[in-house]
Structure 1
Amino acid sequence: MNFGKPMLLGARRFAAGVDVAARGITLAVLSRRLFGSSPLRLEWLASVPLAREAMAGGDIVDRDAVVEALRSAFGQVPRECLGASMRCAMALPASATLVATVPLAQLAPLGCAADESRIYAELEPLVLAEAERVAGIERHELAVDWRVAPWAGALPGGTQVTIAATARAHLEARIECAAMAGVTLSAVDDEAHAALRAMRHAAAYELSPHEPYVALWIGAEGIRGWAMADNAIAREMRFPALEYADLVEALRDLVRDEQAGCAVVAGDIGLLRGVHFTLRDMGDVLGCPILPFECAALADPERPLAADLLHNPACAVAFGLALRGVSE
């Protein structure tokens, strides 16, 4: 096969991200060339409202309403973006997802090595037992995933196991709703980490390399924060939490005495009113400029998209999910 043909060189990989939340369904479609280096392109961005009773926290109550909204959202996608090769990912609510990181030596004190496929097959029962212990849910009711990677904390040279778990019912409900709408999911991801992926992408374009910054995601369950240094997570924060009296204390603990170059903020910024806070207040506490996430810079000028969505920080989750699809 001749991969040098101009037609193949111009081929693109498409991926969609779907954020299902109480406010409605947000859909983002990104593309990237299959060969050669080229920037991402935002192909489509859409939002379809849901009736208030369709969702109850992270639970899908009215599946028919969600299926109809999914059909409506995907029905607006340009024909050239659709195809069997388009990867689709959907978000799970942060409140329904548990992520834990454990040193490999603690999880498997007797040692555990990867097989020829670089898969730690012997870890599976140990990972399931740890997920059951942390989540407080029996393992047959959990959907669990994990990965083994070099330790990112204060133990250089070590290895860590990151475990992600959610109630199987949450996962199955989303897979079934997508299937009923004619959509095949390739991945399901935690909404907070999908938003972080989007904010890291934005920071790579807006900030100088190696410049420390803060990423903040505002969701229905609270605020998640990450202090980033050298493109790695230095510290994490959740609010509300028992260890913090208020949001000011949480933000100060996140940055400590270090100076951040910027704070990238995503999510539903209007929820800050519930804690009597504003973006300006946030910038004052952090001592740095605030940069709300937006998709506008990646939009194709020849394909006008809804301006209110292009500049809406709440689209970060859908964007981050699609970003995963074009990057894998």
Structure 2
Amino acid sequence: MLMRRKLLSAARRFAAGIDVSAREVRLVIASRKRRGAHPVRVEWIGAAPLPAGAMSGVHIVERALVTEALASLCARWPRQLPMRGMPFSMAVPGDAASISLSAMTATRSRSDRKAASSCEIGEGEPFLFDLAGQLCGHDAGEARAGASHPLLQSRVEAAAAAHIALASVECEPLAALRALVHTGEHTRTAVQRYGAIWAGYGGVFGWRIADRLVEAAIRFPGGEHPDLDAALRLLAGGEGLHAALVGGDVALLERIGLTLADIGERLGCSAAPFECAPFGCRPGALTDLEGWKHGAAYAVAFGLALREVTQ
């Protein structure tokens, strides 16, 4: 068994993504073969509920409760491979950076637009972070990590108390965007233009993707749109969209009166929820796990793990 674990570790790169929300902690473990252009697969997903009082919005109030939830998730991992040495990435709300990411099309210079439009999403991530920092009055390093930010500090401390050393942190919207784009590129055929929608505590974010480029971005509230309907219709653009993927808190959207069908109507295309199931290590591998039916909520955690296994 020990030899099998060593061979598995040598053949595949494993990584984990952690998403701490107001009500639960989510964990996604993904892997990819180390050599060659092989697909990413999801090995395991799980969620641990947070007791009342653990969080106040996005702020950790009782660190010990978050640490306990993280530790319980790690204990549930089937341990086909030891977690020691596995890179962990955690999401941070990062409202300032998020606002900049969503508002970049309205505020950047003409040369900035040209630079952004000429790079693909994966290549453009450093540019997006640098731009976020500039618009917020911070340098790029602070936009990436926010080392002194209390939201980040509390999460790093909670992870450390659960014996988790974080390899990276990232703002939620960008992690969600990576997950949605990966799904759009690898599970759909002949879809050239599609929408990526993510709903979280900070609002609703949307991106129009064409040929792996972000053509437009919206955020509500916080953008220049009078309401969410107007923002979604603007996101559709004049040429329309072929499909849309929705991740995050779908229940939040429903509470404000937007079902998937409503989102599709505003965008002029069909809308489907994000799911981890298509990336399972084998058909049906995730359907026995608790929470797999709420796959849209795992977009951020998957995007975080995806970043680590594809680097």
Report the TM-score range of the alignment, normalised by the length of the smaller protein. Answer: 0.7 to 0.9
Give yes or no for contact 1:295–1:310 (8 Å, CA) kept in 2. Answer: no
1:173 aligns with 2:169: no
Task: Pick one of 288, 307, 311 that aligns with 1:324.
Answer: 307
Give secondary structure in 1 for the equivalent of 2:141: strand
TM-score (norm 1): 0.77
- Measured after TM superposition, the shift of residue 320 of structure 1 is 0.6
Distance 1:292 1:14 in 2: 25
- Measured after TM superposition, the shift of residue 97 of structure 1 is 3.7
Equivalent residue number for residue 17 of structure 2: 17
Equivalent residue number for residue 225 of structure 1: 206
**Greater helix content:** 2
The structure number with the bigger radius of gyration is: 1
Distance 2:96 2:223 in 1: 19
Which amino acid in 2 is paired with 1:15? A
Equivalent residue number for residue 216 of structure 1: 197
Give yes or no for contact 2:198–2:205 (8 Å, CA) kept in 1. Answer: yes
Give yes or no for contact 1:50–1:66 (8 Å, CA) kept in 2. Answer: yes
Equivalent residue number for residue 293 of structure 1: 274
Deviations 1:136-174 (A, max 9, x none): 7xx6xxx8527xxxxxxxxxxxxxxxx546452222211
Equivalent residue number for residue 253 of structure 1: 234
Distance 1:105 1:40 in 2: 35
Give secondary structure in 2 for the equivalent of 1:317: helix
Distance 1:36 1:179 in 2: 33
Give secondary structure in 1 for the equivalent of 2:240: coil
Which amino acid in 2 is paired with 1:287? G
Equivalent residue number for residue 119 of structure 2: none
Give yes or no for contact 1:16–1:322 (8 Å, CA) kept in 2. Answer: yes
Distance 2:145 2:80 in 1: 35
Q: What is the 5 A alignment of 1:193-212?
A: 193-208=174-189, 211-212=192-193
Equivalent residue number for residue 50 of structure 2: 50
Which amino acid in 2 is paired with 1:145? G
**Greater strand content:** 1
Give yes or no for contact 2:26–2:46 (8 Å, CA) kept in 1. Answer: yes
Equivalent residue number for residue 264 of structure 1: 245
Give yes or no for contact 2:46–2:290 (8 Å, CA) kept in 1. Answer: no
Distance 1:10 1:68 in 2: 30
Distance 2:86 2:9 in 1: 18
Identity %: 39
- Measured after TM superposition, the shift of residue 253 of structure 1 is 1.2
Q: Residues 105 and 277 of structure 1: is their aligned pair in 2 closer, same or farther, counting only changes over 3 Å?
A: closer
Deviations 1:44-78 (A, max 9, x none): 11100001311112211100001111100111112
Equivalent residue number for residue 295 of structure 2: 312
Uncovered stretches (5+) of structure 2, i.e. residues with no partner: 1-6, 113-129
Uncovered stretches (5+) of structure 1, i.e. residues with no partner: 1-6, 107-126, 147-162
